[in-house]
Structure 1
Amino acid sequence: MSKIRVAVVGCGSISKHRHIPEYVNNENVELVAFVDPVIERAQHYAEAHGGKAFADYKTMLAEVKPDAVSVCTPNYLHAEVSIAAANAGAHVLVEKPMAVTDEEAAVMIEAAQKNGVKLMVGHNQRFFPPHVKAKQILESGVLGKVLTFRTSFGHPGPDAWSIDGAASWFFRKPEAIMGAMGDLGVHKSDLIRWLLQDEVAEVAGFVGTLHKEGTEVDDNASVLLRMKSGAMGTLVASWTYYKGEDNSTILWCENGVMKIGTDENDQVIVELRNGTVEKHKVGAISTNEKQLSSGVIDAFISSIVNDTPVPIPGEEGRKSLQVIISAFESQASGQFIRMA
């Protein structure tokens, strides 16, 4: 079987740490193009892995005609590049948030359907071993119904992570549109929907800029969520966890509590009301300091090779994005926002 010819658009940190090395490690992939307005970055990867370097994605799509494209650009370009790739007949893997408006997300989904290509959103939290194990435990019924929860994602911010440091596009509102919520919060809205197999019914949010100087994008958010099941909880996203990255989730249920990512040795801990305690060592959650395989690339390529549905389609990315957008609406209006 011929290999899947993949182009990577955007050669920043997420490409450097996740997309490119994971494509390189996938035997079904041939990397054929790298695109970045800073052409030297694209040239670096083309020299290392083969393929051609481009400064412009439209030229690349016309010239290379890739089978699949990873969209790793600043947020405001996610929709534009994804739609162009789909219209060029390429399958699309887009980083989160998949778009910056619900309207953009809808057009992306439509473009993929119209062109008969796959659209997957890179919500890697669904693949982390602790989250996979937690979902299995929830589905077993041992904990009963989830009543309340808190899910959190905080780290020191893009100035510590992005390839451009403090000069990163993450801090420029016209390019990022949203800050910690688009970077981290959308991961957790996706995770809680997936873990609970439930949709968000109502949102109230405090979203603001507390400490990152010289930026208009949010660096912190604390959000209340009420699920359709009635479960209530909090979602926290922060770029100011300067000491101690947090990517943990706790679920308080009828029959006990499940702690996910709160202990580095036992990544999933179940404490039942009957006194039973189960500790599961299932593998760590990836951090900025310790990059682990995301599982996203392999799942995307597998769905193309086997012509099966992608595990995180555009429709899922859109629902997770809607939660974040509703939090911004709540902050702006001072009102609870009811989800459709």
Structure 2
Amino acid sequence: MRKPVVAFFTIVLLLPIQLLLAQSPVKIAVVGLTHSHVNWILGREDIGDVEIVGIVEPNKALAKRLMSKHNLSEELLYPDMESLFSAVKPEAVTAFGSIYEHLEVVEACAPRGIHVMVEKPLAVSMEHATKMADLARKHQIHLLTNYETTWYASNHELRKRLKEMAIGPVRRVIVNDGHEGPMEIGVNQEFLDWLTDPVLNGGGAVIDFGCYGANLMTWLMEGKKPISVTAELKQIKPDIYPQVDDEATILLEYPDAQGVIQASWNWPFSRKDMEVYGKTGYMVAKNSTLLLSRTEGEKQEKSENLVKRGNPYNDPFAYLAAVVKGEIKVAAEDLSSLENNLVVVEILDAARESAKKGERVYLK
């Protein structure tokens, strides 16, 4: 007769502990500071959902500069991942080094059961991406990829309406991402050094901005791979970027649709927008909250200013924390998912091959 009473009190005692765990911040380590997007997490408002417990960066001058800028204690700094993991036990790691280094981060974290979020794209090649995916699956960790456009309310509203057949079946998608060029906009030298390196970045504009279009197109196609990839890469400014392309156009072929990815380091201004054309209308996500549209029967284009997405769908680190806590289940078709981003890398590999051979490349 006592067992139900004991069980009741056990449940009552466990509830506050479970509540505390749900509310406690996820312990995150930042590996690498050379990617200028790292300022996103270093300067992030203290919401209480994540806590930076360590930072790995061998370049002491860079580390001191950024940590001082964001009022972070130098006690958080470690020269390498081994030193970090011997001192602290993060639940997740965010990688902000070169794309080539993403594999090394996963090799160190996965066997330790530490979840990883990398800055876009997932990897420099399918060889690296496959190794990373195998490690993530073997050790059952989350391996997420972050893109700025993942958090755009306009993109999500556009996709929602596509599913509702607001403009009929999709016929053509044009994704435009780019700016004047990394040198021209003044990125930090540590970032520029690897961003313009064909090994460490895997390419130039084709990787830096082509990945956005590949990610979004795969998402709109619900994870389906294109039949073929055709690409042209150019060096319009070889005097500035002698080792990599600075202009890329990628054409993706699907059974009933085309995807056009325009990635550039040559535009007169920065842009991240997407145009989707259907049988009975079109929609254009002009920026994170502005959506333009026109459908059959309408005499003029409609402009809508959308509300920004709510927490944790408005910020990569809030999202990461929610995933680690089990509050969000990552679906295979999601923008941040491993499945989506393996397709992204396959598209980028095919784009480089197509440009090199001067011919269409069919995906397996």
TM more than 0.5: yes
SS of the residue 1:320 aligns to:
helix
Q: Would the aligned equivalents of 1:146 and 1:251 in 2 still touch at CA under 8 Å?
A: yes
- Equivalent pairs counted in the alignment come to 327
CA distance in 2, matches of 1:137, 1:225: 22
Matches within 5 A, 1:58-137: 58-137=82-161
What amino acid sits opposite 2:244 in the alignment?
Answer: V
Aligned pairs for 1:167-246 within 5 A: 167-197=192-222, 198-212=224-238, 213-227=240-254, 229-241=255-267, 243-246=268-271
Task: Give the distance between the partners of 2:61 and 2:191, measured in 1 at CA.
Answer: 20
Cα distance, 1:152 vs. partner? Answer: 1.1
Give, in angstroms, the shift of residue 296 of structure 1. 1.6
SS in 1 for 2:321: helix
In the TM superposition, residue 294 of structure 1 has moved relative to its aligned partner by 5.7
2:200 partner SS: helix
For residues 75-94 of structure 1, the C-alpha deviation after alignment (integer angstroms, 9 at most, x for no partner) is 11111112211122211001
Counterpart in 1 of 2:316?
296
Distance change (3 Å), C-alpha of 1:67 and 1:165: closer
Instruction: Measure how far apart 1:165 and its partner are.
Output: 7.4
Between the aligned partners of 2:134 and 2:86, the Cα distance in structure 1 is 21
2:337 corresponds in structure 1 to 313
Measure how far apart 1:189 and its partner are. Answer: 0.7
Q: Tell me which residue corresponds to 1:5.
A: 27
Question: For the structure 1 residues 275 and 46, does the alpha-carbon distance in structure 2 shift closer, same or farther, using more than 3 Å as the test?
Answer: closer
For residue 176 of structure 1, give the secondary structure of its aligned residue in structure 2. coil
- How far did 1:134 drift? 0.8
Specify the code of the residue in structure 2 equivalent to 1:273.
E
Residues 126 and 194 of structure 1 are in contact (CA less than 8 Å); yes or no, is this contact kept in structure 2? no
CA RMSD across the alignment: 2.4
Identity of aligned residues (%): 23
Q: Aligned to 1:32, which of 34, 53, 59? A: 53
Moved more, 177-186 or 153-162: 153-162
Tell whether the 8 Å contact from 1:225 to 1:233 is kept in structure 2 after alignment: yes
Cα deviation for residue 68 of structure 1 reads 0.8
- 5+ residue gaps, structure 2, are 1-20
TM-score by length of 2: 0.83
Distance 2:227 2:145 in 1: 22
Q: 1:98 offset after TM fit, Å?
A: 0.9
Q: Is the 8 A contact 1:61 1:85 kept in 2?
A: no
CA distance in 2, matches of 1:80, 1:161: 28
Q: Alpha-carbon deviation of 1:119? A: 1.0
Would the aligned equivalents of 1:179 and 1:218 in 2 still touch at CA under 8 Å?
yes
TM-score (norm 1): 0.88
CA drift at 1:269: 1.2
The verdict on how the C-alpha distance between 1:62 and 1:89 changes in structure 2, with shifts beyond 3 A counting, is: farther
Partner of 1:272: 295
SS at 1:248's partner residue? strand
Structure 2 residue aligned with 1:15: 38
Gap change, CA 1:59 and 1:164, over 3 Å in 2:
same
The letter for the 2-side match of 1:295 is D
Q: Distance in 1 between matches of 2:220 and 2:148?
A: 13
| Residue 361 of structure 2: aligned partner | 337
Given the alignment, which residue of 274, 280, 286 partners 1:261? 286
- Kindly provide the amino acid, as one letter, of the partner of residue 341 in structure 2: G
Once the two structures are TM-superposed, the CA of residue 315 in structure 1 deviates from its matched residue by 1.9
Change (3 A) 1:321 1:234: same
